[in-house]
Amino acid sequence: IEKIKADGFEAEAHKVTTSDGYILEMHRIPHGRTNKDTTEDRPVVLAMHGFMSASQAFVMLGPEKSVAYNLADAGFDVWMGNARGTKSSRAHVSLNPDDAVQKYEFFDFSWEEIGMLDLPAMIDYILKTTGKDQLHYIGHSQGGTVLLVMASMLPEYNNKIASAHLLAGVGYQDYFPDEQLTQSASMTDVIYYTALQAGAVELFPPNSLQMLPDDIFQWPAYCLGNKNMQYMCQIFGISRITNNYNAATDQPGAALKQMAHYGQNIRDKLFRRYHYGAAGNQEKYGSELPPKYDLSKITTFVTMHYTLNDNLLDERDVLAMVADIPKAVARQVARTSFEHVDFVAAADAKELVTDYIIEEIKNASQENNFTDNDQVIVVDSPPTSAPGTDSSTEAPDDAASTPAPDDAPGGAGTMVLNVYLILLSLYVMLK
């Protein structure tokens, strides 16, 4: 809130409580710097952050380049969510996340709960507060995942979403690009339950970084100057543009179960609910296997923005999701070096992504050109290495996955495992 005000925008903090008791904080920018007429009818936009991120992701590039500021200056009423477990939403009506016993229940959630419980609570609150019937949605990475979960599991919420723009929205992971991370994902359940036994339920709890030696987690220097750390920063959505980012105080946190759920989906090559084992699944779902998320139930208009240089999302998975969502298109970013985190962290994201979204929202009142299973790859300025615009989502069985960036370290696949092991070590050391 303080940063938004310092950048010259009006800012509001709003609290909403979910049906299961989590107290979430949303940040609102009701108007831009010049268009301050509050009586003006403004389209409402909800922006949802990625994994290990928070609302700050949409304002960290400053007044001229940040997604939220660009939207506000374009005449929109901008709301930014903070998922349960993040720094701003690390509260509950009865559970204490810092209690040695209660923390297990507090952090027993993955991104499914964010999609099925947090998003509906936020959307209902925003619509009630603004008096609107619908809002526009922007989700980066996990912010896309949770929209897919909500719109498929709670289809009645499709009518409340005027349009959805998913920025590297992670869902299908049949062709997960990083082979080393895929290997690590095979150990997801073992790593997660080992962490639980050691008392580690949360990624980077408050003050965890301040308690370490000063030279270990100097994120700005490491993200800019060390290739291994650049790759790790990319995976966790930590910006390489770090002038206004202090990881020691701003790192938002997340539940380990969120990462474990992604690991299961990568391992199983299925976009489905959390796998509790045959007995646990039978008790929770009434079947030995967890149900898949049915994207055919999503009836809102979805644009999936993607890049060829994404180490966490393959183009074929994007096109497969577009094929299964009745009213969806895919839009390829017109820079081949554009990366997963660049949607919120790159200086040229405004020209390559945000400006397009602004025009789409402004034109949303006009007749929509979506048709069932419309699979259009839109490239503003086709790069020389871009694939053709064939709408087919079929790929040969022996097709190779899109490679990770050339400068990615060879040991990147051990990073997820190393993070868990680091957390376990920190827990023992700091206990």
- Is 178 marked active-site? no
Within 8 A by CB and 6+ apart from 27, the residues are 1, 4, 11, 12, 13, 14, 55, 79, 80, 82, 88
Cα 46 to Cα 16: distance, rounded to the nearest angstrom: 14
Annotated catalytic residue: which of 310, 314, 317, 342?
A: 310
Give the separation between CA 341 and CA 193, rounded to whole angstroms. 29
- Residue 107 is which amino acid? F
Q: Is residue 110 classed as helix, strand or coil in its secondary structure?
A: coil
Q: Which helix (H) or strand (E) holds 344?
A: helix 342-345
Q: Is 48:139 a contact under the CB 8 Å cutoff?
A: yes
Number of residues written out for the chain: 431
Would you say 112 and 261 are in contact if contact means Cβ atoms under 8 Å apart? Answer: yes
> In this structure, how many other beta carbons lie within 10 angstroms of the beta carbon of residue 50?
28
Structure tokens of 74? 């374009």
For residue 287, the 8-state DSSP code is: S
Distance CA 29, CA 413 (A): 39
* Catalytic residue status for 89: no
At 372, the amino acid letter reads D
One of 140, 165, 275, 340 is an active-site residue; which one?
Answer: 340
Q: Which residues contact 62 (CB under 8 A, 6 or more apart)?
A: 7, 69, 244
Active site residue 214: no
- Other beta carbons within 10 Å of 366: 7
Q: Vertex 104, ends 103 and 107: CA angle to 5°?
A: 75
Among residues 89, 141, 184, 239, the one annotated as catalytic is 141
Tell me how far apart the 2 most distant CA atoms of the chain are, in Å: 60
**Residues acting as catalytic residues:** 141, 310, 340
